[in-house]
Amino acid sequence: MKKNRKLFGIFNIVDIILILLIIIAGVVGVKLFMGGGKQDTSAKKAYTYVVEGREVLTETAEAPIIGGKVFNSSTGAYLGVAKEVASEPYTEVIFSKETGAYQKLPVEGYSNITLTVEGNGTETEKDITVEGTTVKVGMELNVKGKGYAFKGFVVEVRDGE
């Protein structure tokens, strides 16, 4: 007569060992591929970055208020608080037939704007993230606030002062 070597009436020892190995492999795989690697343990601190907009309407360049909230107009994400605002007349290089030379002349109604934004963020080996948005020099950013919106480029990122 043959002995029945099944536990719980359905599984034998080999089946249970195989099921446990599959579960352990699944847990290890999920941890490795779903962020179980190196976690960011850095504390949040203040960061500032400068967004430069070229050839914006002069009214737009005059609208930002220091201390006003700044958002990304594409995603609606909060970017921080306006810390400094500066503008200068937008200029173009134009060839003058009268003088036979190129001249740098201001274009009426347009300005260049420099907006410094401050927010809390974290820094890793790869990125600086301010208020949930990864900020890198050269990235294009659609900036908006109360009464203004413009497209600009990040020209500087630094620790908060």
Q: Please give the mean pLDDT across all residues of the chain.
A: 83
pLDDT of residue 31: 82
The pTM (predicted TM-score) of the whole model is 0.64
Q: What is the mean pLDDT of residues 94-107?
A: 86
**Predicted local confidence at residue 73, as pLDDT:** 85
* Distant-in-sequence, close-in-space partners of 52: CB < 8 Å, separation ≥ 6: 112, 113, 114, 115, 152, 153, 155
Instruction: Copy the structure tokens of residue 73.
Output: 């107009």
Residues 27-41 have pLDDT tens digits of: 988 888 776 555 555
Q: What is the pLDDT of residues 130-140, one digit of tens each?
A: 888 888 888 89
